[in-house]
Chains A and B, each alone.
Chain A
Amino acid sequence: MDTPITLRVDGAAHPLTVDTRTTLLDALRERLRNTSPKKGCDHGQCGACTVLLDGRRVNSCLVLAVTVGDAEVTTSDGLAEDGVPHALHRSFVEHDAFQCGYCTPGQVCSAAGVLAEARAGWPSAVTGDLRDEDVQLSDAEIRERMSGNLCRCAAYANIVPAVAEVAEAEGVRR
């Protein structure tokens, strides 16, 4: 059933008409030709489609485009400002945190979400004291918080230090 919507993506508004069945992921990739988010499992299990929705990381494959409304969608592409790579982009390159790169935009968006959640003091399943507001992203914390992003090349050993370096720069890792 065709429905007119306007998607705000990476700072630009895009009016378009979508079938109600269209996911945000498919709208981004197939309609707006933003191929930054990837389709891996299409069932919320792999994280390759991760984008930020009003700053919160979500699986865009499980979000219907008609439900997005005025929320701001940020893809990994959109994290770069004026063509300058985001600190996470640079860190992933410096740490060789990928091989094929297919999962990387999702990993980067998820890591951006992890950093925001840590700054907000959100605990995780491996946080020792739930009452502690001072979240420090240890390697164990990064692994737990990034568990919604699979990497079939198994670049995890380099993804963790890539995220850790930015966490340290942002003051959420000592």
Chain B
Amino acid sequence: MREFRYERAADPAAAVALLADEPHGAFLGGGTNLVDLMKLGVATPDVLVDVRELASREVTELPDGGLRIGAGVPNADLAADRRVRERFPVLAQALLAGASGQLRNRATTGGNLLQRTRCGYFTDVTRPCNKRSPGTGCGALEGVHRNHAILGQTLEGPGTCVATHPSDMAVALLALDAVVRVLGPDGERSIPLAELHRLPGDDPSRDTTLRHGELITALDLPPLDLPSRYRKVRDRASFAFALVSIAAALRVEDGVVREVRLALGGVAHTPWRSRAAEQALVGQPATEESFAAAADAELAAATPLRDNTFKVPLTRNLVVRTLLELTGAAA
């Protein structure tokens, strides 16, 4: 591991000021991803500014009936929060589907969002990876890529990257239209979660649109008044990343879909909001045929790799099954 200086700050503003002057520094939250990447030689910050203790650990009510989640709230605490369990079950289910009990105790809300999009080539410094070492190529494109992306990848050129974002929590938050509150050297701003993560484009080294020194302070959740559900398909029953996951919410009236939210995990460089499927579904009868057609509308853009073509029908089946379950819940 590269040597680094360890700093604590009195408050978030002081932490932001500290990091602003350290171009190769990083904020440290729970450390469950960053410390691991530092051990692997993948992340090499020369300064760590510890924000775990100073980030808010509170979940508070918003005037519109939504919730504000402090960036320092551990994943375990958020999943156990009574308001989240009752009003945002899709979020509690997603959190509980992620990682292990030990990791959920340590990982924070802000840190979970900022864990790296990654794959086995990214975490192995002896392999080519455009995300870790720009210009070295993508080992996964022709290599081991069974659990890689099927949507939104960069498949040629110096930006080639087919890795997936591993968060479950972020998939649910994306379906919930969460807003990220950020404090930076130039003050505060709010970003829709859909605009936080970015596709690889021509620069897979950047996972998010945050600027250096910007700190996530909280997440705002608008109220949710329709049934929701998270489902995750993986190679083993627990403690594994998703092959494909889905966060869905659905309102059906008189047999017709009035409102639907769909987000997918395990399929792209970012949590993937399925706008094409949503648009195909609103106003349609709430039937298996409509749900399949909506899934097909989303997956028309899929570009699976040699060994992950199975993810296309898997995603389709997961969309259909989850929406059918929600239709039952909504009836």
Using a CB–CB cutoff of 8 Å, the interface residues on chain A facing chain B are: 1, 3, 19-21, 23, 42-44, 47, 50, 56-59, 62-64, 66-67, 69, 110, 113-114, 117, 120-125, 127, 130-131, 133, 143-149
A108 to chain B, nearest CB (A): 13
**Total A-B pairs in contact (CB under 8 Å)?**
112
B136 within 8 A of A: no
19 CB contacts below 8 A, A to B, read A21-B4, A44-B32, A58-B106, A59-B32, A62-B103, A63-B31, A64-B31, A67-B6, A67-B50, A69-B53, A117-B76, A123-B80, A123-B96, A125-B238, A130-B86, A130-B89, A131-B85, A147-B101, A149-B100
Q: Which residue of A lies closest to B123 (CB)?
A: A43
**With a CB–CB cut-off of 8 A, which chain A residues contact B97?**
125
> Judging by beta carbons under 8 Å apart, are A113 and B85 in contact?
no
> Judging by beta carbons under 8 Å apart, are B238 and A147 in contact?
yes
With contact pairs A23-B35, A44-B36, A58-B105 given, residues A130 and B5 touching in the complex (Cβ less than 8 Å) = no
B170 within 8 A of A: no
Bound form: Cα–Cα A123–B78 in Å? 11
> Judging by beta carbons under 8 Å apart, are B105 and A125 in contact?
no
Q: Which residue of A lies closest to B5 (CB)?
A: A1
> Judging by beta carbons under 8 Å apart, are A122 and B76 in contact?
yes
B1 within 8 A of A: yes
> Judging by beta carbons under 8 Å apart, are A113 and B102 in contact?
yes
Bound form: Cα–Cα A62–B100 in Å? 13
Bound form: Cα–Cα A34–B105 in Å? 23
- Residue picked from A62, A64, A149, most chain B C-beta under 10 Å: A62
> Judging by beta carbons under 8 Å apart, are B239 and A148 in contact?
yes
> Judging by beta carbons under 8 Å apart, are A130 and B93 in contact?
yes
> Judging by beta carbons under 8 Å apart, are B80 and A58 in contact?
no
Q: Which residue of A lies closest to B35 (CB)?
A: A62
Please provide the chain B residues from 1 to 28 with a CB less than 8 Å away from any CB of chain A in the complex: 1, 3-6, 28
Using a CB–CB cutoff of 8 Å, the interface residues on chain B facing chain A are: 1, 3-6, 28, 31-32, 35-36, 38-40, 48, 50, 52-53, 76, 79-80, 82, 85-86, 89, 92-93, 96-97, 99-103, 105-106, 237-239
> Judging by beta carbons under 8 Å apart, are A21 and B31 in contact?
no
A121 to chain B, nearest CB (A): 7
> Judging by beta carbons under 8 Å apart, are A59 and B92 in contact?
no
Bound form: Cα–Cα A20–B50 in Å? 12
Residue among A21, A67, A122 making CB contact with B79, cutoff 8 Å: A122
> Judging by beta carbons under 8 Å apart, are B102 and A110 in contact?
yes
> Judging by beta carbons under 8 Å apart, are A42 and B96 in contact?
no
A2 to chain B, nearest CB (A): 10
**With a CB–CB cut-off of 8 A, which chain A residues contact B237?**
143-144, 147
Q: Which residue of A lies closest to B80 (CB)?
A: A122
A27 to chain B, nearest CB (A): 14
A132 to chain B, nearest CB (A): 9
Bound form: Cα–Cα A148–B75 in Å? 15
> Judging by beta carbons under 8 Å apart, are A148 and B100 in contact?
yes
Residue among B53, B79, B82, B102 making CB contact with A44, cutoff 8 Å: B102
Q: Which residue of A lies closest to B89 (CB)?
A: A130
- Residue picked from A19, A58, A127, most chain B C-beta under 10 Å: A58
With contact pairs A43-B36, A114-B101 given, residues A21 and B5 touching in the complex (Cβ less than 8 Å) = no
> Judging by beta carbons under 8 Å apart, are A130 and B92 in contact?
yes
Bound form: Cα–Cα A58–B101 in Å? 8
**With a CB–CB cut-off of 8 A, which chain B residues contact A69?**
53
Residue among A20, A21, A62, A145 making CB contact with B101, cutoff 8 Å: A145
Bound form: Cα–Cα A47–B1 in Å? 21
**With a CB–CB cut-off of 8 A, which chain A residues contact B3?**
1, 19-21
Q: Which residue of B lies closest to A144 (CB)?
A: B238
**With a CB–CB cut-off of 8 A, which chain B residues contact A125?**
93, 96-97, 238
> Judging by beta carbons under 8 Å apart, are B105 and A56 in contact?
yes
Bound form: Cα–Cα A144–B197 in Å? 30
**With a CB–CB cut-off of 8 A, which chain B residues contact A124?**
96
Q: Which residue of A lies closest to B98 (CB)?
A: A125
**With a CB–CB cut-off of 8 A, which chain B residues contact A67?**
6, 28, 31, 50, 52
A72 to chain B, nearest CB (A): 15
With contact pairs A20-B4, A23-B35, A43-B36 given, residues A147 and B239 touching in the complex (Cβ less than 8 Å) = yes
Q: Which 10 A-B pairs have the closest CB atoms?
A: A148-B100, A147-B238, A147-B239, A125-B96, A122-B80, A130-B85, A20-B6, A56-B105, A21-B1, A148-B102
B205 to chain A, nearest CB (A): 22
Bound form: Cα–Cα A117–B96 in Å? 13
